[in-house]
Amino acid sequence: MNARIESLPQTKPRLADDYRHFVRYRRIALTVMALVLLISLLFDIATGPSVFPITELVRGLWDPSSLSAGQAVILYDVRLPYALMAVLVGASLGLAGAEMQTVLNNPLASPFTLGISAAATLGASLAILLDLSLFGLGQMYAVPMMAFGFAVLATLLILALAHSQGAGVETVILFGIALLFTFEALVWLVHFLADTDTLQQIVFWSMGSLSRATWENIAIVAVVFTFCMVLSARSVWAMTALRSGEDQALSFGLSVAKLRLVVLLRVSLLAATAVAFVGVIGFVGLVGPHIARLALGEDHRFYLLGSALAGAIMLSLASIASKVIIPGVIIPIGIVTALVGVPLFMLLILGRGRRV
Amino acid sequence: MTQSGFAVNGLSAGYRGRKVLLDVSIETIPSHSLVALVGPNAAGKSTLLKAIVGLAPARGEVWLDGDALQRLTPAQRLRRAGYLPQTLPQACSLTAYESLLSALRAGCPELTVQEAEHNAESTLDLLELRPLALRRMDQLSGGQRQMVGLAQVIARQPRMLLLDEPTSALDLRWQVCVLEAVRQLARARGAIALIAIHDLNLALRFCDRVLVLDQGKVLASGTPANFQSDLLEQVYGVEGRLEHCSHGHPLVVVDRAL
């Protein structure tokens, strides 16, 4: 065989060089996505009931002292935290969805498939219903902490059950779906038991809203996202290899069960943190990875970052839409993501159908 | 055991109380050899291949070049003995070249980027897959994906190749190409190939030895020239003959099922 390889004509272009065109295209696509996100972020900050011209906004971001006291409050206490939270939560959900779709080998998987959001909703609902103030922290902290705690608990339960059965893909998904229905039923039970005011609070929480964004929350989501992104980057080749199939990945010597366990823990941390601070935001974790896959393929060096960017862009655009659909009213962002995301998703699917 | 080559001694394997392999032993197979593993469905061929690399729970001894493979982790075994699973690589959005690179980067982390690229490219050329390299796996046929799967194994340059039905989805030309390429690897690199295969004519034509497995036991083992037609009735339950074509190649002709 060596003789045959060495006798290859030297003029033949190297495949690695041909392949670099793909890589270059993907780098450009990622850069374009990052620019779109930046523009969307600026528009999101500029959009709101009071007029805030982009030029003043950019100057204010650069030099806060150029703003009036009112403008500074609007920019730094309202617009900027909301907009940054949208970007971070979108990126977290996009990354979580992409990793989950890979390790569960299912394009329908998202952080919500396994009932993580339903568990978080139950935790938050209980905190609101029972008027919990954990260790005297008050309801402001008790609600996200309960949401996070229940989301993590749900994941640990699924992983423990699945692990005892060999952590197969179908097992994980089936347990997830079973838990989803169980938690939803329990949430309805809480609804049934709650009085009108409490019920209104619970329903509003579960719609998903950026209005709970504070700098403290943003820092937590940012740290968790960065931590998970760095860990993801270390297993990009293993996850790319897994796309060839589980039997193939095993034959490469990869420990697929361990990879799946570690990734699902990471996904639940990402999703639970995001859901705890903004409530339930569906669709981003499902559609973000699909957009990235269409634009960048499934080489996870590009796909994971692309999914995070696509999720961030979606939620940032949804945040703008939530403010402009009805002037003067901010519609809960969880409603907007589905209303804007579904037609976008359908366009993508139809476009793909035509191309194939 | 200290000499080079591959041997199995008293290997038993099974799943959840069901025994699939019963005390299987294989005499030393020297370097440069192609061995066909034949037998009816559910004879234990796939389980034997998996047990050798540690992907199926098993007891017994597996020797490669004097080393006891059962003392190594599955990942270490799979570096020495490359295994091609029976299932085809999935139709995904990776290009064939990317799926090959990912197999190398994930399975052989010690390789540099340049080495991985070189291995991938030379393997694609060996298997005549260069025209498919930059096409997506979900745009390839089943047979083409099977070829990419084989490339994923060969590119890792293992000492031994364990191939589970590598020609099951291939047309006539590619079946011959695959066996010729594997034979070329065995001759040039001194590799050993153990190939589970249903097509007895391909097995008899290309392999140096044929191992007949039935109900988890080795029923017969020998060179293609020693293959007895009465095994057809005994193992497969068919009435058949062993003929020779005008080129002298052995040909199995099946007359009817019994």
Q: Which domains does chain A have, with CATH numbers?
A: 60-344 (1.10.3470.10)
Q: CA-to-CA distance for A73 and B214, rounded, in angstroms?
A: 80
pLDDT confidence of A9, banded at 50, 70, 90? very low
The structure tokens listed for B193 are 């190939």
The structure tokens listed for A212 are 């709970």
Maximum CA pair distance of chain B? 56
pLDDT, greater one: A2 or A324: A324
Query: Using the beta-carbon criterion (under 8 Å), do B99 and A254 form an inter-chain contact?
Result: no
Question: Mean pLDDT, to the nearest integer, of A197-205?
Answer: 86
Provide the pLDDT for residue B139: 93
Question: Mean pLDDT, to the nearest integer, of A39-50?
Answer: 88
Low-confidence ranges of chain B (pLDDT < 50): 2
Provide the pLDDT for residue B8: 93
Provide the pLDDT for residue A1: 41
Provide the pLDDT for residue A135: 62
Q: How many residues would you count in chain A?
A: 356
ipTM > 0.90 for the complex: yes
β-pair partners for B160: B81, B192
The structure tokens listed for B206 are 């290309």
The string of pLDDT tens digits covering residues A148-169 is 889 888 888 877 876 776 657 7
> Which residues of chain A lie closer than 8 angstroms to B53, CB-CB?
251
pLDDT, greater one: A326 or B133: B133
- Torsional sign, CA B230, B236, B241, B247: negative
pLDDT confidence of A356, banded at 50, 70, 90? very low
> Which residues of chain A lie closer than 8 angstroms to B88, CB-CB?
245
Partner residue opposite A243 with nearest CB, options B55, B90, B117: B90
The string of pLDDT tens digits covering residues B185-201 is 899 888 999 999 999 99
Q: CA-to-CA distance for A123 and A143, rounded, in angstroms?
A: 7
Provide the pLDDT for residue B193: 94
Instruction: Report yes or no: A237 at the B interface, CB cutoff 8 Å.
Output: yes
Q: CA-to-CA distance for A289 and A350, rounded, in angstroms?
A: 17
Which of A248, A294, A299, A348 to probe by mutation at the B interface, max B CB count within 10 Å? A248
Provide the pLDDT for residue A352: 64
Residue A129 confidence (pLDDT) above 90:
no
Residue A114 confidence (pLDDT) above 80:
no
Q: What are phi and psi of B177, to 5 degrees?
A: -55, -45
Question: Mean pLDDT, to the nearest integer, of A69-89?
Answer: 89
Residue A195 confidence (pLDDT) above 80:
yes
Domains, chain B, with CATH or none: 5-227 (3.40.50.300)
